[in-house]
Amino acid sequence: MQYFKLMNFLFDFFKRILSILLLFYILSSTAQEMSLLFLGDIMGHGPQIKSAWNDTLKKYDYNEVFEPVEEIISSVDFAIANLEVTLAGPPFDGYPQFSSPDELAEACKNNGIDVLVTANNHSCDRGSRGIVRTNRVLDSLEILHTGTFSNQQNRDSLNLLVLEKENIRIGLLNYTYGTNGIPFHAPTYVNLLDSSLIKKDLKFTRTKNLDKLIVFVHWGAEYQDQPNLYQKNFNQFFKRQGVDIVIGSHPHVVQPMHYIKNNDKEFLTVYSLGNFVSNQRDFRKDGGVMFRCSIVKRDKTSISDKEYILTWVNKFYKNEKWHYEVLPCSNKTYGEEYFSRNEDYAKMQVYSDHAKNLFSDYNINIQEGFPYPKIHLQKHEPQELKNHTNTKWIKKLNLFKYRKNKNAK
């Protein structure tokens, strides 16, 4: 009798276990997921404009800038970047008042970027015409955008950008600390970091049945590795107001990333993505980071697969002109043999080591990710260069290696 009771008990026990596992499998298999990738500042300095000119075709072409990371960008559902230029038309020029050729936006579209945020300190560089024409160009290319608006009606309908996949709905808002002292004039509008305005916007978002809300914000002090008090205070404000993800730009260098979860409430902040592409060649300004995550919806919605991918802007001389390309430099994607100049590899390593050390010390619950899909890179053959190899960077790389080996002992 005892034997049969024990067998019945074990049978019921395992049946319940199997039922739970089956339920877990069903829930897991029906989970919905949206993958996101955030890119930093897309700049358009004068040398970049000159580099993009194709003298054979008599037109601008920026596609080679994005080519090494195109597979990464295109692998996600939505890739979102900060467009820190206007598309105001000719005359084209870089700093301090940017206007880039439309082909820059075309290259963004061709290489997988789905959304461009446009509220930043250069939004008003070419006045109202620049704001209106930039939005018109992006609309013509079917690139989603928010942050600046041609008129109030335009803002009312397009301020909250809703990204959708299956039953997942993600909201995106965009604000800037200022516009370099250049005011915008009615009817155009630029979203400024104003707490009263933002509260009204956030109140509106609560009526839209969103699973998560993202704010992409242009803030902070340029060239600083750490967020300042202004950023921290606004970050806490966003958290109190129910924002789920805050993505930062403007410092032109990378800053730490934090993911905090208390019970069922999670909050993610990337203080600065740094430069995605620019002509800023000084240490720390010559690279950036792509941040990748997924929004997973089962019975609840959560942020998963949070990781960063370091990038570095390779400027190389070929066919009698300079070229730019954004290279993924996480997890030793390629080696010294790829570069036409030893100093370029050294510069990339110096940047990469600095960024990894910064993130190792200050990131919270966000690790480096591998830049899948696999990247296919072709070696740049040495060219006759305008500048001789700069041994300063090679020495600096050797110093980094020495310190790393010393700390490992």
Q: How far is CA 251 from the centre of its chain?
A: 13
For residue 86, give every residue at least 6 positions away whose Cβ sits within 8 Å of its Cβ, in sequence order, or none.
98, 99, 100, 122, 123, 125, 126, 130, 131, 133, 134
β-bridge partners, 53: 60
- DSSP string over 264-291: TEEEEEEEEEBEEE-S--STTTTEEEEE
Helix (H, G, I), strand (E, B) or coil at 162: strand
Burial class (CB in 10 A: 0-12, 13-18, 19+), 192: middle
β-bridge partners, 34: 295
Instruction: Provide CATH code, domain 33-313.
Output: 3.60.21.10
Asked if residues 277 and 252 have their Cβ atoms less than 8 Å apart, the reply is no
Task: Judge whether residue 23 has pLDDT over 90.
Answer: no
Task: Judge whether residue 295 has pLDDT over 70.
Answer: yes
Virtual torsion, Cα 51, 56, 62, 67, nearest 10 deg: -110
Asked if residues 171 and 211 have their Cβ atoms less than 8 Å apart, the reply is no
Which tens digits make up the pLDDT trace of 113-170? 999 999 999 999 999 999 999 999 999 999 999 999 999 999 999 999 999 999 999 9
CA distances, 272 to each of 83, 293, 326, 352 (Å): 14, 16, 18, 16
Task: Judge whether residue 210 has pLDDT over 50.
Answer: yes
Every domain of the chain and the residues it spans: 33-313
Token pair listed for 219: 């803030």
Residue 404's pLDDT is what? Answer: 44
The full length of the chain comes to 409
Alpha carbons 172 and 323: distance in angstroms, whole number? 33
Residue 299's pLDDT is what? Answer: 87
**How do strand 265-273 and strand 275-277 relate by DSSP bridges?**
unpaired
For residue 189, give every residue at least 6 positions away whose Cβ sits within 8 Å of its Cβ, in sequence order, or none.
148, 149, 151, 152, 154, 155
Task: Judge whether residue 401 has pLDDT over 50.
Answer: no
Alpha carbons 75 and 35: distance in angstroms, whole number? 9
Which tens digits make up the pLDDT trace of 226-284? 999 999 999 999 999 999 999 999 999 999 999 999 988 999 999 999 999 999 999 99
Asked if residues 345 and 380 have their Cβ atoms less than 8 Å apart, the reply is no
Higher pLDDT, 40 or 393: 40
What's the 3-state SS for 333-379? Answer: CCCHHHCCCHHHHHHHHHHHHHHHHHHHHHCECCEECCCCCCCCCCC
Burial class (CB in 10 A: 0-12, 13-18, 19+), 110: middle
Alpha carbons 209 and 224: distance in angstroms, whole number? 37
Residue 277's pLDDT is what? Answer: 98
Span 385-394, average pLDDT: 44
- Model confidence, pTM: 0.86
